[in-house]
Structure 1
Amino acid sequence: MVGPRLGWAVGAHAIFTTADGAHWTKQYASTEEFVGVDFISATTGWAVATRSLLGTTDAGRSWHQLGEPPAPIRSVHFISATSGWGIAGGTDPQQIHGWLVPHDSATLVITNDGGATWRSLGGPSNPQTVCFSEAGQGWVGAAEGVYLLRMTDQGSNWSLALPRPDQQQGVPQVTLIECAAPHALWVLFLGGQSAMSHSPYVAYATVDGTSWKAVMKEDMSEQQILPGVPAGPDTYPPSFSVVDPTDAVFIGDGPATNVAQCVIASNGGATIRRTGRIDNAPETFAAAFTSVTAGWVLTRNAGGDYVIAATADGGYHWSQQLAIPPTSAG
């Protein structure tokens, strides 16, 4: 969402849009599956499909195919109509809460012409996610943690800013990141040994880029590593949306309970507040909140339908705005 009424969502082989925050229409359909969307204004945005990258400069009235590096783009993050970063290539990509995350062998790429052309950028090996708030400095998520990446006239340099607290060799692990300001970042570490309907995750936040706060965790699998850290919304990694440097909203995945619990983290993660839940929502794909009260969540219900649910009161109450049966994809 780029405001309280205007936004885009992807799923079921299509791009959907709303102009009033309540009613959604299909704007573009494809034989490809769309895995992510990134808008920087009311007119300019990008949509990532499994085999291509699309762009628009007219609010989605027309979408056109953009260039790609030798390997397919997995995710993008733009800060202007021309400047953006992405993750390209890699093996065995998995769709995880709005990101298409490769297992390994991916490449960090950069564009200065809105995605028409891309070039490789030096960075940590096996990058998974990338986020910039300004041209000179950004963040890269990798299995082992979060890297601070600085751009210079001579190229780029990087350093490990936040090591993952529960690294496990030989076990797939993922780092999702979302920035809110040049030095503010929210992180979700997920993956590891799962058991008894519990899948490990830990969320962190920083408002200054140096001091990190452990915000929440999956209580059973991470208890010995991070005692005293509050439990997250459910037993599987949540979708999350960063509102500003100090506030974020987490929507839990609860396949065992068939609900998606809403948790609001405030004050840089120092305050955790559980609100309401989305019923008949065992799986979430992505969340987008424009404030700690107004937000939208893309879920899948028990029948397999793709559903957009919305709240105007911080997750205490939810309404269904769109439901697409899986058979209507494309």
Structure 2
Amino acid sequence: MTLQRKLSISALALVMVAGTGFTPGRGPSWQLSDTGSTARFRGLAPVSARVAWAAGSAGTVLRTVDGGRTWASVGPPEAAALQFRDIEAADAWHAVALTIGNGTDSRVYATSDGGRTWTETFRNDDPVAFYDCLTFLDRRHGLALSDPVGGKFRILATNDGGRSWQVRPTTGMPDALPGEFAFAASGTCLVSAGRHAWFATGGGATARVFASRDGGRTWSVADSPIPSGPSAGIYSLAFRDSRTGIAVGGDYAAPATAPDGSAVTRDGGRHWTVSRTVPGEYRSGAAWTGRGRTALTVGPTGSDVSYDGGVTWRRFDTGSFDAVACTGGSCWASGEAGRIARLRW
């Protein structure tokens, strides 16, 4: 998987819709922030209704501590030529961010002072590896996912909050399919709930979901009904708990149509069922809102809401976003041209 192929996701301007889209009289709507940035933010880490981090192109990292009214650019200067695709934050001071690319372009940076200083805590030295996304099981234990190396997906792990990382042995990892990889589209190709972790794939004959129940040491894999292909598959996962999950995706090369582009599981990812009503277009991010069975999904052509755990979806916005994340009932979305928004109900 080349960097050029990964970054081709960013070439979707032909279908991008300016503005926030329509706002119905009832239900959710996005309220855009003035970020002062033109970066594309695919990494998003809300901490509370007031604190959130976003990471994106040209080494850009933003942080707000006032609910999005103002944003500070706090990215590491040495990463200005790199592409951030994921960021995980514990609070207003501690964050860990991932840059993507073949070989040494895949790096992890950590800050403990709100972005005033950063430490590079991992630099990939394998020219074949390409890291896509991060997740933290708790404040100390985290995982990062690389596309297959030697026929198996690679897991990077930390047990000290991201200050150091170790490549895990692949003895507990099933074989990858020919052409199979993960999508670095929204920082949610790898997610976790407690000691459980999951990652999603595409590119091969079948879009699959890998699951771990021991903190990422051993993995099982299940087929999904979401179509797969050279630029198609599952782009985002969201798990409410160890059993209840949503998968969304499609084909970024044909974003206006995505048959069977959403699926749900009720057994921790062992079995997946196509949603009764799918978004119908390519979606790159999904999140549970913290309001019961309500979930969100976003993509370059719009946003959808589900009130029944992903079984049925309804469009509520036509603006362009790449990532969505929620915490404590506060939901945020981010995307191209510096777009970051908070959800209003």
Give the TM-score taking structure 1 as reference length: 0.70
Name the structure 1 match of 2:29: 23
Distance in structure 1 (CA, Å) of the matches to 2:115 and 2:108: 14
Distance in structure 1 (CA, Å) of the matches to 2:164 and 2:280: 49
Deviation digits for residues 158-211 of structure 1 (CA, Å, limit 9, x no counterpart): 42355462265xx68336311222x2211113335xxxxxx6532111222244
The Cα RMSD (Å) is 3.5
Name the structure 1 match of 2:42: 35
Say if 1:54 and 1:261 are closer, same or farther in 2 by CA, change over 3 A: same
Check whether the contact 1:40–1:78 (CA below 8 A) recurs between aligned residues: yes
The match for 1:160 among 154, 169, 172 is: 169
Say if 1:57 and 1:273 are closer, same or farther in 2 by CA, change over 3 A: same
Name the structure 2 match of 1:285: 284
Check whether the contact 1:241–1:288 (CA below 8 A) recurs between aligned residues: yes
Question: 2:318 is paired with a residue of what secondary structure?
Answer: strand
Name the structure 1 match of 2:138: 134
Name the structure 2 match of 1:180: 193
AA of the residue aligned to 2:269:
G
Distance in structure 2 (CA, Å) of the matches to 1:113 and 1:278: 42
Question: 1:70 is paired with a residue of what secondary structure?
Answer: helix
Question: 2:67 is paired with a residue of what secondary structure?
Answer: coil
Check whether the contact 1:13–1:33 (CA below 8 A) recurs between aligned residues: no
AA of the residue aligned to 2:298:
L
**Structure 1: which 5+ residue stretches go unaligned?**
1-10, 89-100, 193-198, 217-230, 301-305
Distance in structure 2 (CA, Å) of the matches to 1:79 and 1:149: 17
Say if 1:63 and 1:297 are closer, same or farther in 2 by CA, change over 3 A: same
Alignment of 1:222-233 (within 5 A): 231-233=224-226
Distance in structure 1 (CA, Å) of the matches to 2:219 and 2:320: 41
Bigger shift: 307-316 or 259-268? 259-268
Name the structure 2 match of 1:84: 95
AA of the residue aligned to 1:116:
R
Distance in structure 1 (CA, Å) of the matches to 2:139 and 2:308: 35
Distance in structure 2 (CA, Å) of the matches to 1:35 and 1:129: 10
The match for 2:57 among 50, 58, 80 is: 50
Check whether the contact 2:233–2:250 (CA below 8 A) recurs between aligned residues: yes
Name the structure 2 match of 1:150: 158
Percent identity between matched residues is 20
Say if 1:57 and 1:287 are closer, same or farther in 2 by CA, change over 3 A: same
AA of the residue aligned to 2:191:
E
Distance in structure 2 (CA, Å) of the matches to 1:287 and 1:107: 25
Check whether the contact 1:15–1:34 (CA below 8 A) recurs between aligned residues: no
Distance in structure 1 (CA, Å) of the matches to 2:272 and 2:245: 10
2:207 aligned with 1:201: yes
Distance in structure 2 (CA, Å) of the matches to 1:207 and 1:322: 36
Question: 1:110 is paired with a residue of what secondary structure?
Answer: strand
Check whether the contact 1:265–1:272 (CA below 8 A) recurs between aligned residues: yes
* CA positional deviation for 1:148: 4.7
The match for 1:250 among 247, 252, 265 is: 247
AA of the residue aligned to 1:165:
D
Distance in structure 2 (CA, Å) of the matches to 1:15 and 1:47: 19
Name the structure 1 match of 2:266: 266
AA of the residue aligned to 1:180:
A
Say if 1:204 and 1:156 are closer, same or farther in 2 by CA, change over 3 A: closer
Bigger shift: 147-156 or 130-139? 147-156
* CA positional deviation for 1:60: 0.8
Deviation digits for residues 207-254 of structure 1 (CA, Å, limit 9, x no counterpart): 2224433132xxxxxxxxxxxxxx332233123222223322012416
Distance in structure 2 (CA, Å) of the matches to 1:66 and 1:258: 37
Name the structure 2 match of 1:220: none
2:71 aligned with 1:63: yes
Distance in structure 2 (CA, Å) of the matches to 1:45 and 1:290: 15
Distance in structure 2 (CA, Å) of the matches to 1:178 and 1:324: 25
Question: 2:69 is paired with a residue of what secondary structure?
Answer: coil
